[in-house]
């Protein structure tokens, strides 16, 4: 056995502190009021202002048109995260199924067509993507927020790897048992993939929830704002104000980080497995 | 229940130059238990999977009952298969695993329930019906795989090395169980294994395959007694038959200069096959230099050399074995093979000139 | 020489047979021993994904390339073909050059620091047994925080009025002016980006370390006395595949995923602030309405990223074969 030195713990504690302190500070400061923060700087202790601050952030109609509340943004972020994750799983499972379990013409060509999308992230084709969306009239819609982000093969890649690891005999037994392509998919393959689906759901939910640039461009109508978009607009209001609403900004940040962090901490094991085993 | 016939069946993989399997002619009677045996890569699994419809058949005809099944889907062939790794559906209970095939064929709920109940009684799976495969031991999984085949009441059972994943002891007991079940159900069976002992004990008839071709078809004892080639001779029986370079000259077989028996075969070099259990240590005979003795309890196997050629002898006595002994064999226990083709040569004996050693 | 010729000939043959295989749907080693043999069903399963990819990937990508050769009229009345002018304009502008330099610097810093710290923490977490899972939970939770949130929180920490880090710098005699001073902003961007990325590297390094078999560790314990020696000779080589994979991921992260951090910290005021190439594409396209120039920069980036990803794929392929 290796000896455990206190030094190792020291480094870990420093590392953990480095990572977690900003989060704690944001959380604590969100329970203070803006003037205190303005005068005293950031807080490490909880204040008494949590209820009014969060209440205001969640229900106050903010923005330029006064249309959007924190609740609304929270809901939009949820729709974005869940919609993206579900869409991704459905599309990529089906595509991976076709690629792994069928013999058909142009299969290899299609394989390359799909996997080329891994080459270029959305950011490098952001301008033309925007133009395409406006041509299609999809600006300010949930479809426009979610569907274009699905145009990447990450999920297909994960599921393809997973399907390849399913023993060949599973299909053979099912065929002898009289299962056709649709039955095999629904009865056997989907139930077999449950763990994989859950892991990918978590990763994709976080990815969708955390989207910033795309919602920024796609939504001018504030009723479609997500929390990430809200952060941008709270900063825009900020400029030029005397005492910015620090506490509200922090409260918004806490709301924006809470769901994904909760999901990751609760499903830690599954999440790590999904991430490290499928990404490689 | 049905007979099965393979007529000149062969397969060449797309892009492959050599046939994986070729010229297979086997007629299997209703209720017969046929074992396909051979070393790995001999094409036995491919052949089985062709019968199942999991591999395409590029040549010849496969009939199950009166039907030509070459172009039929596996599900339409009325067969059931037991896989080496069992291929149980891990997310389904034992009951659902067995019922799945019947459900897909649109059997009624009562029929399914009856058949599953019957099969689980036969296989003593009753207490496990609501468990998932992961909660079962290897032997139990094997039974479920059997159950899944039985409930279908198919024309034929196909077994693809079903016992290879079990430990040695369980393998022996499952072997007997499979045989008993098959006798009771009377279902035509095709069974693939690389284990010659399993093959010998299970089969009504054995099919020995080598490099995609049939070497010999016959009842186990027939194959044991009269192997058709050096390949079969060395594959069937343990320890393997010793194959030695010998000569026939002046109407007698001689091994390393020692005359063995008088035969009427033509003169020239010949491969002589001697089974360890047919040889015995005797006061006189061919001198054997002992190299190593394997004690097996009931018997022991003496390994040694005659000249420069290796040979094994089974000994049942308990006396200490000297470094140099003599071995003897009955002349009617000799096997002769053509040295160039490896095919069996019938010994043309000359009984009146006995030369037992 | 000969070897190269042989290899070229072989690859030509391989290409030909691959083309033939595409048409005949024959793959020399199919993914599965048995596959369904129906001509139409797979298309049903592929159609949704294909539709999304064609509309939202190929169409915009092609458009990026075409519009990079045009200058669009600012009032939207048509566009003029200008050949490679957009490219030469982009590449020769001094602003582009300084942005490119910063991008390279930024990528190098973020990658080196987040990989280094991630590895250090993973090695330590792998060593300790007591409390390992709580360290893990703390470190991992930061992974889920969105880059813009990280940017917002980081900006507060660096705020000139309330930021504790500004106070800290003042204590050491430095007047930290993030958002105004070029160097200070660059420093803040690097710190925030590294902070956000450490957990990701940590997760991968830790799982890489934990997959080193106990027997190998024990053998190393017997063979090498010093811990550093063991790490250098045994652990690090075994981690090399993970490290390479992470290297590519981190470069991609630093180039693209830091966009929100930059946007939040710089707040649309790039005047005297450091930005990356991706941010410049966005600025020129959406704020500057220079669609042609922005597209040309997009295409340059596409080529760079594609090269990076191909490198990763080649590596992955090798891993699949020998790993």
**Model pLDDT for residues C266-300, shown as the tens digit of each residue:** 876 667 789 999 898 888 888 887 888 888 998 88
CB-nearest partner of C36 from A90, A102, A148: A102
Q: Is 80 exceeded by the pLDDT of residue C312?
A: no
The pLDDT tens digits of the residues spanning C125-170 come to 888 767 778 888 888 888 889 999 999 888 888 887 788 888 888 8
Chain A residues whose CB is inside 8 A of the C137 CB are: 265, 268
What is the structure's pLDDT at C3? 44
Mean per-residue pLDDT, C83-92 = 85
Q: Is 90 exceeded by the pLDDT of residue B274?
A: yes
C112 and C73 both lie in a single domain: no
CB-nearest partner of C26 from B14, B54, B55: B14
Q: Is 70 exceeded by the pLDDT of residue C10?
A: no
CA dihedral B102, B107, B112, B118 (to 10 degrees): -80
Q: Which of C28, C29, C30, C36 to mutate to test the interface with B (most CBs of B within 10 A)?
A: C28
Task: Report the candidate in C263, C264, C302, C304 with the shortest Cα–Cα distance to residue C107.
Answer: C304
Mean per-residue pLDDT, A24-44 = 85
Q: Which two tokens stand for residue C1?
A: 């020489």
Q: Name every residue in C having a CB less than 8 A away from some CB of B.
A: 26, 28, 33-34
Query: Which 133-172 residues of chain C touch chain A by CB within 8 A?
Result: 135-149, 152-154, 156-157, 161-164, 167
Phi, psi for residue C202 in degrees, rounded to 5: -60, -50
Q: Which of B15, B80, B92, B100 to mutate to test the interface with A (most CBs of A within 10 A)?
A: B100
CB-nearest partner of C48 from A2, A15, A91: A91
Q: Which two tokens stand for residue C208?
A: 């890489």
Give the separation between CA C254 and CA C244, rounded to whole angstroms. 15
Q: Which of A38, A85, A115, A123 to mutate to test the interface with C (most CBs of C within 10 A)?
A: A123
Mean per-residue pLDDT, A229-240 = 75
Q: Is 90 exceeded by the pLDDT of residue B351?
A: no
B194-203, B270-279, C166-175: the lowest-pLDDT one: C166-175
Q: What is the DSSP annotation of A143-194?
A: HHHHGGGG-SSHHHHHHHHHHHHS-HHHHHHHHHTT--HHHIIIIIIHHHTH
8 Å CB contact of C26 and B54: no
C129 and C248 both lie in a single domain: yes
Q: Is 50 exceeded by the pLDDT of residue C321?
A: no
8 Å CB contact of C144 and A100: no
Task: Report the candidate in C208, C211, C217 with the shortest Cα–Cα distance to residue C245.
Answer: C208
Asked if C320 is an interface residue toward chain A (Cβ–Cβ < 8 A), one would say no
What is the structure's pLDDT at C30? 62
Task: List the single residue in B with minimal CA-CA distance to C26.
Answer: B14
Asked if A246 is an interface residue toward chain C (Cβ–Cβ < 8 A), one would say yes
Give the separation between CA C139 and CA C130, rounded to whole angstroms. 16
Given CA atoms C5, C8, C10, C13 in this order, what sign does their dihedral have? negative
**Mean confidence (pLDDT) of chain B:** 90
C124 and C177 both lie in a single domain: yes
What is the structure's pLDDT at A242? 67
Give the separation between CA C320 and CA C323, rounded to whole angstroms. 5
User: How far apart, in Å, do the first and last CA atoms of chain B sit?
Assistant: 53
The pLDDT tens digits of the residues spanning B141-193 come to 999 999 999 999 999 999 999 999 889 889 999 999 999 999 999 999 999 99
Domain boundary among C81, C110, C128: C81
C117 and C34 both lie in a single domain: no
C46 and C195 both lie in a single domain: no
Q: Which residue has the higher pLDDT, C136 or B28?
A: B28
Chain A residues whose CB is inside 8 A of the B148 CB are: 173, 177
Domain boundaries, chain A: 72-278
Task: List the single residue in A with minimal CA-CA distance to B104.
Answer: A178
Q: Which two tokens stand for residue B216?
A: 């010999």
Q: Is 60 exceeded by the pLDDT of residue C118?
A: yes
Q: Read off the pLDDT band of C4 (50, 70, 90).
A: very low
Task: List the single residue in B with minimal CA-CA distance to C20.
Answer: B15
What is the nearest CA distance from B101 to chain A, expressed in angstroms? 4
The pLDDT tens digits of the residues spanning A93-149 come to 999 999 999 988 888 888 888 888 877 788 888 888 888 998 999 899 999 999 999
Q: Are A57 and A117 spatial neighbours (Cβ–Cβ below 8 Å)?
A: no
Contacts of C220 (CB under 8 A, 6+ apart): C230, C233, C234, C235
What is the nearest CA distance from B210 to chain A, expressed in angstroms? 25
Task: Report the candidate in B302, B233, B303, B305 with the shortest Cα–Cα distance to residue B274.
Answer: B233
Q: In what order do the strands lie in the sheet with B309-315?
A: B279-282, B324-329, B286-295, B300-306, B309-315
Q: Is 70 exceeded by the pLDDT of residue A64?
A: no
Helices (H) and strands (E) in chain B, counts: 8, 21
C-alpha distance from residue B355 to each of A9, A16, B260, B262, B276 (Å): 88, 92, 7, 7, 20
Q: Which of B50, B51, B53, B54 to mutate to test the interface with A (most CBs of A within 10 A)?
A: B54
Q: Which residue has the higher pLDDT, B262 or B61?
A: B61
Mean per-residue pLDDT, B297-320 = 89
Q: What is the CATH number of domain A72-278?
A: 1.10.3720.10
C64 and C94 both lie in a single domain: no
Domain boundary among C24, C59, C81: C81
Q: Which residue has the higher pLDDT, B175 or A272?
A: B175
DSSP category for residue C172: T
Task: Report the candidate in C49, B143, B13, C194 with the shortest Cα–Cα distance to residue A95.
Answer: C49
pTM for this model (two decimals): 0.84
What is the structure's pLDDT at B187? 94
**Mean confidence (pLDDT) of chain C:** 81
Using N-to-C axis directions, what is the helix angle for B109-122 and B94-104, rounded to 10°? 130
Chain C residues whose CB is inside 8 A of the B14 CB are: 26
CA dihedral B319, B320, B321, B323 (to 10 degrees): -150
Asked if A112 is an interface residue toward chain C (Cβ–Cβ < 8 A), one would say no
A145-159, B126-140, B142-156, B253-267: the lowest-pLDDT one: B253-267
Give the separation between CA C64 and CA A128, rounded to whole angstroms. 6
The distance of Cα C321 from the centroid of its chain, to the nearest Å, equals: 24
What is the structure's pLDDT at B90? 92
Chain C residues whose CB is inside 8 A of the A35 CB are: none
Q: Is B329 exposed, middle or buried (0-12, 13-18, 19+ CB in 10 A)?
A: buried
Contacts of C216 (CB under 8 A, 6+ apart): C234, C238
C37 and C131 both lie in a single domain: no
Q: Read off the pLDDT band of C75 (50, 70, 90).
A: low
8 Å CB contact of A265 and C140: yes
Domain boundary among C81, C104, C123: C81
C237 and C296 both lie in a single domain: yes
What is the nearest CA distance from A66 to chain C, expressed in angstroms? 22
C141 and C290 both lie in a single domain: yes
What is the nearest CA distance from C213 to chain B, expressed in angstroms? 25
8 Å CB contact of C28 and B54: no
Q: Is 60 exceeded by the pLDDT of residue B224?
A: yes
Q: Is 90 exceeded by the pLDDT of residue C240?
A: no
Chain A residues whose CB is inside 8 A of the B100 CB are: 174, 177, 179, 187
DSSP H or E segment with residue A207: helix A194-209
Give the separation between CA A159 and CA B181, rounded to whole angstroms. 41
Give the separation between CA C144 and CA A203, rounded to whole angstroms. 9
What is the nearest CA distance from C34 to chain B, expressed in angstroms? 7
Q: Where are the beta strands (DSSP E) in B123-241?
A: 156-160, 188-193, 205-210, 213-218
Chain C residues whose CB is inside 8 A of the B15 CB are: 26, 28
Helices (H) and strands (E) in chain A, counts: 16, 0
Q: Is 70 exceeded by the pLDDT of residue A238?
A: no
Q: Is 80 exceeded by the pLDDT of residue C28?
A: no
Please give the residue range of the domain that contains residue C128. 89-319
Contacts of B8 (CB under 8 A, 6+ apart): B23, B24, B25, B59, B60, B61
Contacts of A158 (CB under 8 A, 6+ apart): A92, A196, A200, A274, A278, A279
CB-nearest partner of B90 from A175, A177, A192: A192
In this structure, the number of other CB atoms found within 10 A of the CB of residue C303 comes to 13
Mean per-residue pLDDT, C255-264 = 90
DSSP H or E segment with residue B325: strand B324-329
8 Å CB contact of B83 and A188: no
Q: Are B314 and B275 spatial neighbours (Cβ–Cβ below 8 Å)?
A: no
Q: Are A229 and A215 spatial neighbours (Cβ–Cβ below 8 Å)?
A: yes
Q: Is 70 exceeded by the pLDDT of residue A264?
A: yes
Q: Which of B69, B83, B134, B144 to mutate to test the interface with A (most CBs of A within 10 A)?
A: B83
Phi, psi for residue C159 in degrees, rounded to 5: -60, 140
8 Å CB contact of A187 and B52: no
Task: Report the candidate in A217, A209, A212 with the shortest Cα–Cα distance to residue A231.
Answer: A212
- The full 3-state SS of B16-38, as one line of letters, equals CCCCCEEEEEEEECCCCEEEEEC
DSSP H or E segment with residue B61: strand B59-64
Chain A residues whose CB is inside 8 A of the C294 CB are: 127
Q: Is C16 exposed, middle or buried (0-12, 13-18, 19+ CB in 10 A)?
A: exposed
Q: Are B96 and B108 spatial neighbours (Cβ–Cβ below 8 Å)?
A: no
8 Å CB contact of B14 and C34: no
Number of domains present in the structure of chain C: 2
Q: Is 50 exceeded by the pLDDT of residue B356?
A: no
The pLDDT tens digits of the residues spanning B85-126 come to 999 999 999 999 999 999 999 999 999 999 999 999 999 998
Chain C residues whose CB is inside 8 A of the A2 CB are: 127, 221, 227
Q: What percent of chain B clears pLDDT 70, i.e. is strictly above it? A: 97
- A193 cis-preceded (ω within 30 degrees of 0): no
CB-nearest partner of C34 from B14, B15, B54: B54
What is the structure's pLDDT at A105? 83
C164 and C229 both lie in a single domain: yes
The pLDDT tens digits of the residues spanning A172-207 come to 999 999 999 999 999 999 999 988 898 889 889 999
CB-nearest partner of C36 from A16, A181, A265: A181
Q: Are B193 and B35 spatial neighbours (Cβ–Cβ below 8 Å)?
A: yes
8 Å CB contact of A124 and C256: yes
Backbone torsion region of residue B92, taken as left when φ is above 0, otherwise alpha when ψ lies between -120 and 50, otherwise beta: beta
C196 and C280 both lie in a single domain: yes
Chain A residues whose CB is inside 8 A of the C250 CB are: none
What is the structure's pLDDT at B154? 93
Chain B residues whose CB is inside 8 A of the C33 CB are: 54
C51 and C182 both lie in a single domain: no
In this structure, the number of other CB atoms found within 10 A of the CB of residue B134 comes to 9
Rg (CA), chain B: 24
Give the separation between CA C129 and CA A3, rounded to whole angstroms. 11
**Mean confidence (pLDDT) of chain A:** 85
Q: Which two tokens stand for residue A185?
A: 């998919």
The pLDDT tens digits of the residues spanning C168-227 come to 888 887 888 887 788 889 999 999 999 999 999 998 898 888 888 888 888 888 887 777
> Three-state DSSP class for C127?
helix
């Amino acid at each position: 056995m290796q000896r455990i030195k206190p030094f190792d713990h020291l480094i870990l504690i420093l590392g953990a502190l480095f990572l977690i302190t900003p989060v704690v500070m944001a959380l604590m400061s969100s329970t203070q009021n803006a003037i205190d923060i303005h005068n005293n700087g950031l807080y490490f202790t909880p204040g008494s202002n949590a209820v009014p601050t969060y209440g205001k952030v969640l229900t106050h109609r903010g923005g330029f048109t006064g249309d959007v509340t924190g609740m609304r943004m929270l809901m939009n972020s949820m729709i974005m995260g869940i919609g993206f994750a579900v869409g991704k799983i459905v599309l990529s499972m089906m595509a991976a199924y076709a690629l792994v379990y069928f013999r058909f013409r142009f299969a290899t060509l299609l394989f390359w067509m799909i996997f080329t999308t891994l080459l270029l992230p959305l950011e490098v084709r952001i301008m033309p993507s925007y133009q395409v969306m406006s041509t299609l009239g999809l600006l300010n819609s949930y479809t426009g927020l979610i569907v274009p982000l699905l145009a990447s093969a990450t999920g297909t890649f994960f599921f393809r790897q997973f399907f390849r690891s399913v023993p060949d005999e599973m299909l053979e037994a099912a065929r002898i048992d009289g299962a056709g392509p649709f039955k095999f998919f629904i009865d056997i393959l989907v139930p077999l993939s449950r763990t994989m689906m859950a892991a990918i759901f978590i990763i994709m939910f976080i990815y969708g929830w955390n989207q910033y640039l795309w919602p920024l461009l796609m939504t001018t109508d504030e009723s479609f704002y997500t929390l990430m978009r809200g952060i941008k607009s709270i900063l825009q209001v900020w400029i030029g104000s005397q005492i910015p609403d620090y506490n509200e900004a922090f409260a918004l940040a806490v709301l924006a980080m809470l769901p994904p962090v909760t999901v990751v901490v609760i499903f830690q094991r599954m999440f790590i497995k999904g991430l490290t085993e499928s990404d490689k | 229940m049905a007979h099965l016939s393979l007529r000149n069946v062969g397969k060449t993989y797309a892009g492959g130059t050599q046939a994986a399997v070729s010229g297979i002619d086997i007629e299997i009677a209703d209720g017969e238990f046929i074992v396909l045996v051979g070393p790995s890569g001999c094409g036995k699994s491919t052949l089985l999977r062709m019968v199942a419809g999991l591999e395409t058949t590029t040549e010849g005809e496969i009939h199950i009952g009166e039907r030509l099944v070459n172009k039929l889907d596996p599900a339409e062939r009325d067969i059931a298969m037991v896989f080496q790794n069992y291929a149980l559906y891990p997310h389904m209970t034992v009951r659902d695993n067995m019922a799945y095939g019947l459900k897909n064929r649109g059997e009624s709920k009562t029929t399914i329930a009856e058949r599953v109940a019957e099969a689980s009684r036969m296989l003593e799976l009753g207490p496990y019906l609501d468990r998932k495969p992961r909660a079962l031991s290897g032997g139990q999984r094997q039974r479920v795989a059997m159950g899944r085949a039985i409930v279908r009441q198919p024309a034929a059972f196909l077994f693809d090395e079903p016992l290879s994943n079990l430990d040695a002891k369980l393998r022996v007991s499952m072997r007997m169980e499979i045989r008993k079940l098959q006798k009771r159900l009377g279902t035509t069976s095709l069974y693939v294994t690389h284990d010659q002992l399993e093959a010998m004990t299970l089969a009504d008839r054995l099919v020995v395959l080598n490099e995609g071709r049939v070497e010999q078809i016959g009842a186990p004892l027939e194959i044991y007694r009269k192997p058709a080639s050096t390949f079969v001779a060395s594959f069937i029986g343990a320890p393997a038959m010793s194959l030695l370079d010998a000569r026939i000259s002046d109407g007698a077989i001689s091994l390393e200069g020692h005359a063995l028996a008088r035969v009427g075969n033509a003169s020239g070099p010949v491969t002589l096959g001697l089974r360890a259990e047919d040889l015995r240590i005797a006061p006189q005979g061919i001198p054997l230099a002992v190299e190593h003795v394997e004690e097996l309890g009931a018997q022991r196997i003496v390994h040694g050399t005659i000249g420069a050629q290796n040979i094994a002898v089974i000994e049942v006595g308990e006396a200490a074995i000297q470094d140099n002994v003599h071995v003897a064999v009955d002349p009617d226990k000799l096997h002769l093979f053509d040295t160039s083709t490896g095919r069996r040569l019938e010994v043309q004996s000359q009984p009146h000139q006995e030369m037992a050693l | 020489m000969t070897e190269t010729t042989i290899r070229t000939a072989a690859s030509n043959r391989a290409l030909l047979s691959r083309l033939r295989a595409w048409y005949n749907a024959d793959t020399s080693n199919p993914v599965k021993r048995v596959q369904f043999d129906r001509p139409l069903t797979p298309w049903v399963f592929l159609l949704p994904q294909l539709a999304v990819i064609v509309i939202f990937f190929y169409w915009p990508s092609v458009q990026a390339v075409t519009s990079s050769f045009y200058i669009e009229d600012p009032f939207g009345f048509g566009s003029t073909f200008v050949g490679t002018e957009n490219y030469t304009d982009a590449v020769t502008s001094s602003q582009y050059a300084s942005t490119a330099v910063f991008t390279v610097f930024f990528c190098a810093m973020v990658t080196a620091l987040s990989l280094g710290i991630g590895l250090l923490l993973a090695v330590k977490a792998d060593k300790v047994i007591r409390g390992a899972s709580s360290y893990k939970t703390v470190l991992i939770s930061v992974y889920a925080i969105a880059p813009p949130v990280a940017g917002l929180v980081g900006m507060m920490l660096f705020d000139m009025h309330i930021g504790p880090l500004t106070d800290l710098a003042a204590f050491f005699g430095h007047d930290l002016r993030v958002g105004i001073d070029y160097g200070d902003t660059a420093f803040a961007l690097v710190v925030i980006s590294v902070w956000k990325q450490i957990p990701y590297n940590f997760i991968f390094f830790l799982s890489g370390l934990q997959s080193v078999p106990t027997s190998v560790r024990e053998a190393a314990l017997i063979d090498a006395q010093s811990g550093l020696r063991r790490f250098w000779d045994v652990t690090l080589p075994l981690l090399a595949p993970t490290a390479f994979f992470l290297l590519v991921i981190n470069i991609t992260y630093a180039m693209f995923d830091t966009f929100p951090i930059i946007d939040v910290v710089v707040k649309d005021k790039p005047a005297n602030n450091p930005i990356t190439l991706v941010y410049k594409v966005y600025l020129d396209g959406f704020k500057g309405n220079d669609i042609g120039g922005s597209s040309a920069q997009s295409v340059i980036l596409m080529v760079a990223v594609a090269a990076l990803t191909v490198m990763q794929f080649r590596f992955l392929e090798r891993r699949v074969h020998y790993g």
